[in-house]
Amino acid sequence: MSSIDDLFEEIEEVISIPTRKAKRKKIIEYNPEDFISHLSLTRRGMLITMVIIIDFGLYLSTSLPFFGIILIIFSVLFAIDYYLFVKNPLENLLIKRHIDRALMFEGDYSLVEVEVTNTHPTKPIGLLEVEEYYQPEIKVLTTKEKLTKSMALGPKESNYLRYLFKIEQMGKYIIGPIKMTIKDFLGLFSVNVIAPIFDDVIIFPRIEDAQRMFQVAQRRKLGRFFDIFRQKEIGSGLDFFGLREYERTDDHRAIDWKASAKRNMDPLMVRIYETVNPLNILIALDAGKSMLVRLDNGKTKYEAVLPIVAFLILLGLSTRDNVGLAIFDSEVTAFLKPANQRKVFFDALRLFAMSNKGNKTSYRQLANYIVAGVRERTLVIIVTDLEGDVEELHECIRILRLKKFPVLLLYLKNEELEFDVPLSSFEDKIFLETYLAHRAADIIREVRKKGVSTMTLRREDFEKLTFPVTLERWISLVSQARR
């Protein structure tokens, strides 16, 4: 596998380069058959209609030629204009939308270009007003309340509505539809057209924090973190494990003559080696309702821990292990099977943004899904705030341990977080912090009895990016405990 630095460059290239320079172009063409239209009279058309009706009444009552001439002139103009315009005002209309960057990072800008073309060789289109619809989360750089542009199109002429937009939060967003109002040259009739042009824009979480933490991890050689959970097979391999007595079934080439001579050749000693197999790692990220509570910095708990999850994926890929991802609330809403491929990290970013979130957390559904979908021995890293059902959490761990899956619980220390939730008094705040602290301590004490490793995620771990330091300290403590 190429270096992680190459992976960062590839992701930047895929997400940041405009699509008109990329291999895949996000251009969607729509024909008039797809449009939903509604014909109506303009104010001028309604006035002319009233004039014709009144004039017709006057002509019937007076029989004066003057009123008859006016009636004929207005009626003929009205009928001709109606025939020419209503015959098919959309027949020669073609629309294209081009999104410069349909894949973006949070806070980046993208250009949208709506092209409206009159395909008729001789017939012009009168007054045309184009209005673009979009979700309120999309911030468009415009001084108008509505994103509109008026234009007139000659034969085989095109005009454009262009605008810049940005989106601050990751997710999947929709641009569209397009509303058009077409008027004839006399301004008597108008057709309101809804063009069902919908385009998806996917906003990825920024990866700079994960990148910086990974650079720290490289300097501190934190890849050994996964060695704690790795199984080693004794037998053939490259890493020397130790010596044992010779058996009849052993290959004589494995005899260590020097070590045997020290024992006067009684018994003969054989060198044995160990094989280190790639580790299967599955990171299970809690996306339940409690993880969507906003902190005082504007981010949800789910968004706050994403850099740490992304960092762990990078760390696993750098040690040539197989890394996967499961995002869950009441069920597993997104799943990546463990693999050691470049696209794992990119696919994880996409799932971070697009997976459904916000239902009640169910640890039982997570365990059942993992057991059904993963057959090989896998390290399961559960990232959660421990606010789901405690009994379900214990059942989840029991199911995974029965399958001999090692489990690591990464939990957010809720009492250190400042939530964007008003409390009635300072005493309420102290009570909430004390309750959360005692509840988490009880849960951690119980899961440790079941042989589960745990690690606390503090506020500074994802705000000041100190998680690599926390990880190094945790590795040191575990290594000392095993000696």
Q: Per-residue pLDDT tens for 454-476?
A: 998 988 888 888 899 889 888 88
Whole-angstrom Cα distance, residue 471 to residue 463?
15
How would residue 26 be classed by pLDDT, with cut points 50, 70 and 90? very low
pLDDT at 29 over 50: no
Whole-number pLDDT of residue 478: 79
Whole-number pLDDT of residue 12: 67
HEC letters along the chain: CCCHHHHHHHHHHHHHCCCCCCCCCCEEEECHHHCEEEEEECHHHHHHHHHHHHHHHHHHHHCCHHHHHHHHHHHHHHHHHHHHHHCCCCCCEEEEEEECCCEEECCCEEEEEEEEEECCCCCCEEEEEEEEEECCCCEECCCCCCEEEEEEECCCCEEEEEEEEECCCCEEEEEEEEEEEEECCCCCEEEEEEECCCEEEEEECCCHHHHHHHHHHHHHCHHHHHHHHCCEEEECCCEEEEEEECCCCCCHHHECHHHHHHCCCCCCEEEEEEEECCCEEEEEEECCHHHHCEECCCCEHHHHHHHHHHHHHHHHHHCCCEEEEEEECCCEEEEEEEECCCHHHHHHHHHHHHCCCCCCCCHHHHHHHHHHHCCCCEEEEEEECCCCCHHHHHHHHHHHHHCCCCEEEEEECHHHCCECCCCCCHHHHHHHHHHHHHHHHHHHHHHHHCCCEEEEECHHHHHCCCHHHHHHHHHHHHHHHHC
Whole-number pLDDT of residue 345: 92
pLDDT at 156 over 80: yes
Whole-number pLDDT of residue 164: 93
Class of domain 208-228+278-482 as given by CATH:
alpha beta
pLDDT (mean) for 9-15: 68
pLDDT at 427 over 90: no
pLDDT (mean) for 27-40: 54
pLDDT at 383 over 80: yes
Model's pTM, two decimal places? 0.77
pLDDT at 428 over 70: no
Parse the chain into domains and list their residue ranges. Answer: 28-204, 208-228+278-482, 233-276
28-204 folds as Immunoglobulin-like (2.60.40)
pLDDT (mean) for 229-246: 67
Tell me whether residue 307 is exposed, middle or buried, using C-beta atoms within 10 angstroms of its C-beta: 0 to 12, 13 to 18, 19 or more: buried
pLDDT at 204 over 80: yes
Instruction: Round the average pLDDT of the chain to a whole number and report it.
Output: 82
329: tokens are: 């609330």
